[in-house]
Structure 1
């Protein structure tokens, strides 16, 4: 049994132990629902008797009962039963009964006994005897509310989560990782650093505060610079469009539930906020006649888009209802696909590498219900595989056979952050369908009319989500070039304010983001305030600095100071980090030679 399968059996078995423990502690009236294994443990959902609740103070009691059950060394037995037998067995269990009734006729039904007094409806597999769980390292981590089957119209249940690992060392390491992740939580750090906020009047729609908007625009400027070098043309299009546009694109039929719709008296009066930018790029392409000489036509766009989400699915900047996607839509001839994908991969490598982030690629190929010419598909997939082979080496990327969209194969880019967490980020999607839906054409070299292929492409995925990841990756201590304010200036006394203004003016002239504290607060409090906002450099200006036209520098995250640095030298240091998009602060004064 491989490691993943072992952990699945191990954790799923412990979920049954948890259910048995809860029943023994809280009585036979407990209704138990489902208890799956998850990435770091398991959970189980219960309907507890009236007046009964599980508090954090109860966690140890439940854990002790679980260990007591494990020490009984009870056998686990499996039995295949008929649908009627299952209904009879679980006649007093509401949720099990509902699950059984929903099973198709003829479906294989198995039940698992743990000892003689606990039975569960389950496909298995499980351990043979609870003694196999003797070395189990588990710990209840939280209790929360949950709706039966995830539907807010159904019963409210109590969900008990637990960590579970093969040994105490792995559990301890995981808890340390979770603690570190909590300390990096962008939903905590973002408001502390005054980067963004949310308001109940616009759920899932972030307000970017002045400091956060500076981060956003620094990131956007970086993105724009790279795309200008690669021959992209940035556009902006309407956020609100008539229903007919979304009907033609196919979004109305396949994505209407995820759209914000403004109903009119007729279809002609019905509008929707755009959930995607692709129709904008198509309309720009079709604004005039195109020939093969125009292709590839690279269109990029960072407009606001809206996608309707369930309130329980919203999660800080990671899952929002209003965001800006770093979209690009490239129109190419069929024989240009390979070179264009290669160029996109180079852009992805440059962008992710700037942040010190590693990524891997996954290729999803033609599904059974594909549309278009199979020869075009075969050539497109061959081009994508060739590019990935050259980029990573054969066998060093995953292939998801048959998992592409019906309108084209795709490459997904998955990125790892400082905690080793994997994020689905960029997507490179070939599309043979939308050019057909909109009857897009270009004049070929032989004067015939042909249809272009569309490439949908995003690297960040969304600006908001990527910034959330960066906040957690850097723990709010952004690289110099990305920091909201890069330099904080502290004049020691009022007589140093004029020199502080001179320094501030020079830095702003060199496009360095700077803030100065001219208040009458003492120097230590001024420095502390800038440190709380994680400004990379804090300049302290006094008599000596004013006289010599120098600055003394406090470095972020260090007790180290650079004293009496010539002002022009410091400006050059800042320019260097901005130009190179450096990850690290310069911590030594460059030699004059």
Structure 2
């Protein structure tokens, strides 16, 4: 029996059923067969379109079965139906993910050969490399990691083939249970059903329960590094066993690996925690508790500029500013559904005189109460409420990270209440606002993701299938109308509705999750919100949640790393540093300071009895955009000698000329000096 295989150039080959992608590559060219890593196939009958993907590093991504459609497979996979086939070389991003997943298996092989008492969890590829979760009573040391990496080199040199085999679910459960592999038993029970066949991958004497795909052999894992180790609770539950998560990375060659570590050095130099201390922007005080941010004067100035711009933009776009309490009765959170679905991420309830209270993890229930406080007509809609609201979430102790993952933060939250007919326009306006935020703060590139309900896990989401279909369709229509490329992630929606996430790309090419726009048809129903329609009848509004900074803290952390602390003039806490050459020039420096401050510039005068170069160096270390030096010549000609960040000495200009330049850069929110 033959099948049809369509190649990317549109040509179609008829081959025997069971032919592998490697066979096809060999029939084209042995050189091609040696170069390809994996294959991408799609049934010719499958509908074209954006393919749903799953979270990297998740259990679902590792073990769950493929939906009908496009998938990446081993070169040795038999093709049994008509397919479109792509042979992927090292230039394809999907190939690197497969190399990294195979590297995780190589690392697991090495771990078991050195430490056979170890029990295995899962080992996914990530955007930065790979990891493997393992359980071992004795903690691994740095020396152990070095030994594992050395043993991996031996496994690669053995060039062991990755071989996929299938066996019954029952046999897999029996074998893994006998070996005490409790994590593998869990994965099989969770991701397969009685009577299923499960897939295993073998290389040499190592066998792992795995969906694949893999490179042809361990010898294709050419450039790798075991990097670090961290703790992770089994199933994310702090009451379970403490696992050890061993991180590594892998690339096609040593050149790419070296480039990766050079990039890591640049990332390290931009670490917002280090720069935050160096530039005196913020701190986290152990005596006060982890994940709680103290904003220092300079950081607070930057925050003020961020919030002032956002508030003015909200008002210009028709939002009303509101404020809601930090704590509210637990009953409110029961009505909203958060007390049940979101409870583990909230701080425990506290008992006061009349009831139990909880600190708020988000602002939306408070905004619904403001909406409900007075009757609304269709003429009043849309109603848009915006708030910089302090919220509190119980992040686990091992997950917090500087400004990026905290327990107390300020959400630039807004909620829009509108008619069903207005929803498309409101969502589009939110996306337009999100793009304006990114552009204003110097981010030109971003990615868009649509998170939807997983019908197979309908119990995790509130509302009817019809409501979900309508709301997901509305978001898709807006994205399509704006011509945005997006990926769809089933199962990643909020419990109350689907959402659009906008992930900015920073100067190092890293993606950050910040802006989100969410459709909610549940809270209006739960809080019995209504408006009087044109027909005189009562109707239920629909609701849009949106946060564009995401949180002030997280956005600020990203800004610090994007600019490496060298903020554009309008955000810089100190915009101009003044350096009198000697004490006799101090009077002139004070006069210049007054003129600059009158123009609204933030100025710092160094009056210390220090040498001029020491003062200039201090302002340079603080990444001040402009340093003005003043001596006899400048005082006599009403001028200043300008040193510009990143450019050095630019010579002498009049004070008026400098003020015009600095004010122009500030008011234009220019990113470059």
What range describes the TM-score normalised by the shorter chain of this pair? Answer: 0.7 to 0.9
SS of residue paired to 1:482: coil
Shift in alpha-carbon separation, 1:432–1:122, aligned structure 2, 3 A: closer
> Deviation digits for residues 356-398 of structure 1, max 9, x if unmatched?
31223334457655877988877765654444334226xx333
| Deviation (angstroms), 1:276 | 0.8
- For structure 2, the residue ranges without an aligned partner over 5 or more in a row are 1-38, 41-91
> Residue 232 in 1 paired to residue 319 in 2?
yes
Equivalence map 1:126-275=2 (5 Å): 126-133=214-221, 136-200=222-286, 201-264=288-351, 268-275=354-361
SS of residue paired to 1:80: strand
Q: Which residue of 1 aligns with 2:519?
A: 430
Counterpart-to-counterpart distance in 2, 1:158 and 1:556: 44
Counterpart-to-counterpart distance in 1, 2:568 and 2:487: 32
Equivalence map 1:377-456=2 (5 Å): 384-392=475-483, 396-400=485-489, 404-405=493-494, 407-456=496-545
Calculate the TM-score normalised by the size of structure 2: 0.78
Q: 2:641 aligns with which of 538, 547, 552?
A: 552
**Does structure 1 retain, via aligned residues, the 8 Å contact 2:531–2:539?**
yes
> Residue 485 in 1 paired to residue 574 in 2?
yes
| Deviation (angstroms), 1:321 | 0.7
Q: Which residue of 2 aligns with 1:588?
A: none
Q: Which residue of 1 aligns with 2:555?
A: 466
Q: 2:152 aligns with which of 48, 60, 66?
A: 66
More displaced 10-residue stretch of structure 1: 296-305 or 174-183: 174-183
| Deviation (angstroms), 1:154 | 4.1
More displaced 10-residue stretch of structure 1: 314-323 or 377-386: 377-386
More displaced 10-residue stretch of structure 1: 164-173 or 154-163: 154-163
SS of residue paired to 2:629: strand
Q: 2:656 aligns with which of 546, 564, 568?
A: 568
SS of residue paired to 1:272: strand
Counterpart-to-counterpart distance in 2, 1:240 and 1:69: 57
- For structure 1, the residue ranges without an aligned partner over 5 or more in a row are 586-593
Q: Which residue of 2 aligns with 1:287?
A: 373
| Deviation (angstroms), 1:194 | 0.8
Q: Which residue of 2 aligns with 1:495?
A: 584
Counterpart-to-counterpart distance in 2, 1:385 and 1:90: 45
**Does structure 1 retain, via aligned residues, the 8 Å contact 2:184–2:209?**
no
> RMSD of aligned C-alpha atoms?
3.0
Shift in alpha-carbon separation, 1:547–1:175, aligned structure 2, 3 A: same
**Does structure 1 retain, via aligned residues, the 8 Å contact 2:497–2:520?**
yes
Counterpart-to-counterpart distance in 1, 2:453 and 2:111: 48
Counterpart-to-counterpart distance in 2, 1:100 and 1:387: 38
Number of corresponding residues:
575
Shift in alpha-carbon separation, 1:515–1:122, aligned structure 2, 3 A: same
> Residue 21 in 1 paired to residue 107 in 2?
no
Q: Which residue of 2 aligns with 1:590?
A: none
Q: Which residue of 1 aligns with 2:670?
A: 582
Counterpart-to-counterpart distance in 1, 2:315 and 2:227: 49
| Deviation (angstroms), 1:92 | 4.8
> Deviation digits for residues 308-353 of structure 1, max 9, x if unmatched?
1101111111111111111111222222223322322222222111
Counterpart-to-counterpart distance in 2, 1:340 and 1:10: 43
Equivalence map 1:31-46=2 (5 Å): 31-46=119-134
Calculate the TM-score normalised by the size of structure 1: 0.88
> Deviation digits for residues 46-88 of structure 1, max 9, x if unmatched?
45686x8432x56554333322222233344435256457645
Counterpart-to-counterpart distance in 2, 1:571 and 1:86: 75
**Does structure 2 retain, via aligned residues, the 8 Å contact 1:428–1:456?**
yes
| Deviation (angstroms), 1:513 | 1.4
Shift in alpha-carbon separation, 1:8–1:86, aligned structure 2, 3 A: farther
